[in-house]
Amino acid sequence: MNTKREQESRLCLADAQQEERGSGMALPPPGSSVHMVGIAGVGMNALAQVLRARGYRVTGSDRLTDTNLSAPVLDALQRQEIALYTQDGSGVTPETGALVVSTAIEQDNPDLEAARRRSVPVRHRSEMLSALIGGEHCIAVAGTSGKTTVTGMIGWLLSELGADPHVVNGAAVLNWKSTDCIGNVRMGASDLWVVEVDESDRSLLRFFPEHAVITNISRDHFTLEETTALFELFVQQVERTLICGAGLGSLFAGRNDLRAVCREAPPACEWTHPLPLPGAHNRENAQLAITLCEALGYEREAIVETLSRFQGVERRLERVDEGGDVAVYDDYAHNPAKIRATWNAVAEQAERVIGFWRPHGYGPLSAMMEDLCTMFQEVCRPGDRLYIPPVYYEGGTAEKRVDAEMFVERLKEHRVPATWISGYDAFLSAVLESGRPGDAVVCMGARDPELPQFARRLAARLASI
């Protein structure tokens, strides 16, 4: 990026920051009806649970209600007396006091159009969560990769160490997940919140935390320069403590506008208790969580012992088989940094990695293609195999400049052992035919709700042979 473009990007982000600062809202009173569009989404279902716990009447709609896929998250929401509708505008009624959307909701969504006709206030998910936190104590976890796991670790640690926090995470903490509990939200009795905040839509700028963690910074939704500028704005809003990952201390610590004390987490420590999560990236995640808890005054020995009982986070290197000869992992990895961390962690324990990665959109695949090719070239060992199915597409206006088959051809040019495959059933057949003891299958990708279900179906088939 040249200097002029960098300056323009920073000005644009500064304008966004001012917009977010000025977007404070008054919450509708408890007991009001709030309708949520795309309620099955990870951020949306979490907010729905918080609103329900705070006494709001919550309704929601989602595309999954029109499919034949099982949706445990929707079943769990219904058990919390949250009524579900199809996305045809019928969920927006004269009693609806606010409509909540995420950045993924398009402007022609029927629920959104119904809200406009009825003059129902429309609020972004992050705006509503920030208003719910209000002036209470907040720990915000940000970063391009690892923030969901670190949020889960900090939430688990503080809940077990007696702080009794509210926790709002981007995925379920497996220690908390059950048939009736989704596991990504914990409502405590204190005035302390631990929340994951998102840079992909710049909504992290709606939060003004007392303490914050920034795990790392890499190219994902924006260029590296734009992403760095966004996090530089966010750190200005941190009040007391900023814990950052390796290499970020020098970026933030010397800023004159930083109110918080900046500490860079030291290299991953030697564990006196076993860390139940594999991979160098999880050791780094753990060190960030430990450093934050130490900054809050907790003793290291108690922190590390408690962390040894942390079971992990859903779809973050989650092992879904029952310990058979072929391990099966389900993972949310969708950008080069995340895929690299996941692949390397699995390779530590497997003779051969069989990877399945579904691109989560035409735009992201186009933007990341060269970085993805370089990454896969570096992580794939001679015996490893990579399978790429068609791009996941939900409809809309995406430009289909590249597709999965073109991506596989580029991978082959980088000497990556990649194969295009038509879908889940074809991949299942390929694994059943060629899998052998000592292999590990890792199913990776975002957005597609069928992917985690398929990983479990694959594990069940492997266990039956």
Sole residue written with tokens 């705070």 = 54
* Cα 309 to Cα 305: distance, rounded to the nearest angstrom: 7
Residue 356 pLDDT grade (very low, low, confident, very high; cuts 50, 70, 90): very high
| pLDDT score at 396 | 66
Domain residues for the domain of 86 are 30-129
183 in the same domain as 158: yes
275 in the same domain as 153: yes
332 in the same domain as 302: no
For residue 218, tell me if it sits in a domain: yes
Kind of pairing, strands 327-331 and 318-319? Answer: antiparallel
The arithmetic mean of pLDDT across residues 391-409, rounded, is 86
Residue after which a domain boundary falls, among 107, 129, 151: 129
100 in the same domain as 50: yes
457 in the same domain as 346: yes
For residue 410, tell me if it sits in a domain: yes
For 48, 145, 187, 254, 430, the CA distances from 32, given in Å and listed in that order, are 13, 36, 20, 46, 52
For 365-378, the pLDDT digits (tens) are: 998 999 999 999 99
Q: If 0-12 CB within 10 Å is exposed, 13-18 middle and 19+ buried, where does residue 322 land?
A: exposed
For residue 433, tell me if it sits in a domain: yes
| pLDDT score at 267 | 86
State what percent of residues in the chain have pLDDT above 70: 92
Q: State both tokens at 367.
A: 């933007």
* Cα 283 to Cα 274: distance, rounded to the nearest angstrom: 11
Residue 400 pLDDT grade (very low, low, confident, very high; cuts 50, 70, 90): confident
282 in the same domain as 146: yes
* Phi, psi dihedral angles at 308 (to 5 degrees): -65, -15
Residue after which a domain boundary falls, among 129, 153, 187: 129
In 112-244 the beta strands, taken as DSSP E runs, fall at 122-124, 137-142, 166-168, 185-186, 192-196, 211-214, 241-244
For 279-307, the pLDDT digits (tens) are: 889 999 999 999 999 999 999 999 999 99
For residue 9, tell me if it sits in a domain: no
Residue after which a domain boundary falls, among 84, 110, 129: 129
| pLDDT score at 35 | 97
What's 347's domain CATH number? Answer: 3.90.190.20
For residue 123, tell me if it sits in a domain: yes
Residue 271 pLDDT grade (very low, low, confident, very high; cuts 50, 70, 90): low
113 in the same domain as 139: no
Q: How many domains does the chain have?
A: 3
Start-to-end CA distance of the chain, whole Å, equals 53
| Contact yes or no for 411/448 (Cβ under 8 A) | no
What's 216's domain CATH number? Answer: 3.40.1190.10
For residue 23, tell me if it sits in a domain: no
For residue 208, tell me if it sits in a domain: yes
The arithmetic mean of pLDDT across residues 303-314, rounded, is 95
For 90-135, the pLDDT digits (tens) are: 999 999 999 999 988 889 999 999 999 999 999 999 999 999 999 9
For 64-87, the pLDDT digits (tens) are: 876 655 678 999 999 999 999 999
Q: Which has the closest alpha carbon to 217: 236, 244, 182?
A: 244
285 in the same domain as 148: yes
Q: What is the 3-state secondary structure (H, E, C) of 416-452?
A: CCEEECCCHHHHHHHHHHHCCCCEEEEEECCCCCHHH
| pLDDT score at 324 | 85
327 in the same domain as 243: no
The answer on pLDDT for 10 being more than 90 is: no
For residue 77, tell me if it sits in a domain: yes
Q: Which has the closest alpha carbon to 315: 463, 448, 130?
A: 448
122 in the same domain as 145: no
Q: Which has the closest alpha carbon to 167: 150, 182, 147, 187?
A: 187
For 185-203, the pLDDT digits (tens) are: 999 999 999 999 998 889 9
Instruction: Tell me the helix, strand and coil percentages in the chain, rounded to 5.
Output: 40, 15, 45
376 in the same domain as 450: yes
Q: What is the DSSP letter of 93?
A: -
What's 84's domain CATH number? Answer: 3.40.50.720
287 in the same domain as 147: yes
